[in-house]
A and B are shown apart, each in its own frame.
Chain A
Amino acid sequence: MAVGALAACGVRGPLQADRLKVNLLSRETPSSGFALDLWDLNDFSLLLFFSHRCSPGPPDQSFAAADSPQTQHGVIVCQKGSETRREIRGREMSLVPPSFLQSIEETGFSTWLRESESPFAFYFILLFHTFGLALLVGANAVVDLRLLGAARAIPLAPLKQLFRPMWIGFAINAVTGVLLVIAYPTKSLTNWDFYMKLTIIGFAMWVMYRLKSEIFDDASLDETSMMANGASLAKWSLVLWFGAISAGRLLAYTYKYLTFPS
């Protein structure tokens, strides 16, 4: 596969390496299949899209002179043991985010969300994302804590009613989350942490669904068996929500691009 990717880059010639890393395709074949070995987790998210642009830079004279004329359009990173060599062939190119991110960013709605001075633009969406978080995680945490033995005097059965506000919280955050991605598509979609957050939320929602269907919907369970059966789900729920909040907060500190690089 690595060879195929090299061919797509228009690179010929032997390469002395244990592992190959190729991080872009040529302009001519922008979306061929390729195998990549990553050295930066941040790039991982970019590769999910299989569409990369090449931005031509000045030719790397030293390399161009030494290699065959067919060699063009490629940045190759060769790794042999612990040694890493980054070779630039032909024109200098850099990995850039897929252009559809730019298209989203350039829409009027995205621009308004991002740049408007109105208090009802970006921060309003962010506010409701926080309200949704409080509703979803707050209610779920109370159910978890109760299952784990906190405030035992609360009867468990009526807590089933809390799953509705949790779903409302989730719905609010799904909608506001999409709006936040529309406001900063490059920032979120090129950040590995964003995919981690979605994954953790996926698991947390799965645990929440199982809490409802296996513990609260089972009328045959008494309180003791609800607690016994639900304890490990409740623990996982708390851990996963903590992880989801943390991954969400980290989005503000881990992004590679705030907006599409110009």
Chain B
Amino acid sequence: MNFSHLHLLLNHFPIIGTIVGLGLFLVSLVGKNGDLRRASLIIFAAMALVAIPTFFTGTGAQGAIRKTPGVSEALIERHQGSAMLALLFMEITGALSLVELWKSQGSSRQSGWNWTLSAVLLFSIVTSGLMMRVGNTGGDIRHPEIGSGSDVAAEESALSKLVERFEPSPGKFAELMTASKWWWAFMMDMHFVGLALVIGTVGLLDVRILGFLKQIPVAPLHRLIPWAMLGFGVNLVTGILAFTGMDQYYTYDWAFWLKIFAIMLLGLNVAAFYLTDAFKSVESLGAGDDAPPLAKFIAGTSLFLWLAVITLGRYIQPFADTVSVHK
């Protein structure tokens, strides 16, 4: 297993997943199927999460093949730029999907049209298009047999050329992130503020489900989740920006990868909470009520994983350069 392998394992998910999600979303809109709509929104959110490690493994994959004969640095740069733009739209689509899921919770029936659905529709269409371009530009790096000639970049369609104008130049973007130490300090500051918000809200819910602070009923605590999502969103944005600023630093750091892995497990944890009986079983718990074992297990796992995320984040610095690869 190396970064190229990992990148190739992951990279099909956000591309195909988003397109499949868009298909289901369109069907659900036409067929007025509320369950299918929720399923497609969950897929968008999941793809937004998976897109993050996919993006992060790109730097290591680049490091693994850049010295290979026939691999063009320019094509890699183009791929990276297209991935950055697609990631931006993917995360917005995922965030909008979560907003819509939150708003429509508890009602599996088709509720009315609203701005979030329009926004999800718009952003998922754009994201799907951008994702296809990411796939194409990535394929061009290693699969010249797909293109018709050696100079793939010159044969792009007018649409591709238009999109390319909006794609950041990876090198310049990284410079922008690291040019001022005050901007970096601000990002790190916000990362800690987001951390406090997430732990305050999610941690409190977890602790209550585990059986502490029992005088507080569970259902109203759940109303704090949007604040948790705000904190997580702040940390996701500042985290991705920090990575793009110093991708070489984070890529060869074990603590960083374990942290990302723990965040992915937290995604599964959230899915386990909402898609099993666990959520239903705690939703109606009043003051003094005890949660069933499954819910307690999920809450305990969540608390453990969040503490692991903080721990691994703190250890990124001393674990710099612990991933040894033949660079």
Residue numbers of A with Cβ under 8 A of B are 119, 123, 126-127, 130-131, 133-135, 137-142, 145, 150-155, 157-159, 161-162, 241-242, 245-246, 248-250, 252-253
Contacts and interface: CB of A to CB of B under 8 A. Distances in A.
Contact of A135 (B182, B199, B311, B317): B199
B225 to A, nearest CB: 9
A123 B317 CA distance: 9
Interface string B210-236: 000101110111011001000000000
Contact of A155 (B181, B203, B217, B315): B217
B197 A127 contact: no
12 contacts: A123-B317, A127-B310, A130-B195, A130-B314, A134-B310, A138-B204, A145-B227, A150-B224, A155-B220, A161-B213, A246-B189, A250-B189
Contacts of B224: 142, 145, 150-151, 154
B227 A245 contact: no
Given A150-B224, A245-B193, 14 more contacts: A123-B315, A127-B311, A134-B200, A134-B203, A138-B197, A138-B198, A154-B216, A155-B216, A155-B217, A157-B215, A241-B196, A245-B192, A249-B189, A250-B185
- Top 10 A-B pairs, shortest CB-CB distance: A138-B200, A153-B220, A158-B215, A151-B223, A134-B199, A137-B196, A154-B220, A138-B199, A249-B189, A127-B314
B287 interface: yes
Interface string B177-208: 00001101100110011011111110110000
Nearest to B318: A123
| Secondary structure call for the A interface | helix
A142 B200 contact: yes
Contacts of A161: 213, 215-216
Interface string B249-272: 000000000000000000000000
Contacts of A162: 204, 213
Given A123-B314, A249-B189, A154 B199 contact: no
B181 A253 contact: yes
Nearest to B311: A127
B163 interface: no
Interface-central residue, A119, A138, A159, A241, by most chain B CB under 10 Å: A138
A41 to B, nearest CB: 16
A162 B216 CA distance: 11
Q: Which of B196, B197, B198, B203 has the most CB of A within 10 A?
A: B196
B307 interface: yes
B185 A249 contact: yes
Contacts of A141: 196-197, 200
A127 B213 CA distance: 25
Contacts of A134: 195-196, 199-200, 203, 310
Given A134-B310, A142-B204, A153 B219 contact: yes
A127 B307 CA distance: 10
Contacts of B196: 133-134, 137-138, 141, 241, 245
Nearest to A145: B227
B241 to A, nearest CB: 15
Nearest to A153: B220
A138 B203 contact: yes
A87 B220 CA distance: 67
A154 B318 contact: no
Contact of B310 (A130, A150, A155, A158): A130
A64 B200 CA distance: 63
Contacts of B197: 138, 141
A17 to B, nearest CB: 34
Nearest to B310: A130
A151 to B, nearest CB: 4
A177 to B, nearest CB: 15
Contacts of B318: 119, 123
A246 B223 CA distance: 27
B200 A151 contact: no
B314 A126 contact: yes
A154 B315 contact: no
Nearest to B197: A141
Contacts of A245: 189, 192-193, 196
A151 B200 CA distance: 14
A158 B204 CA distance: 13
A151 B220 contact: yes
Contact of B227 (A150, A158, A159): A150
Contacts of B220: 151-155
Contacts of B311: 127
A114 to B, nearest CB: 12
A250 B188 CA distance: 9
Interface centre among B188, B192, B224, B307 (most CB of A within 10 A): B192
Given A133-B192, A134-B196, A249-B188, A142 B201 contact: yes
A74 to B, nearest CB: 35
Nearest to B189: A249
A155 B208 CA distance: 14
B315 A249 contact: no
A123 B215 CA distance: 36
Nearest to B195: A134
Contacts of A133: 192, 195-196
A250 to B, nearest CB: 6
A62 B201 CA distance: 66
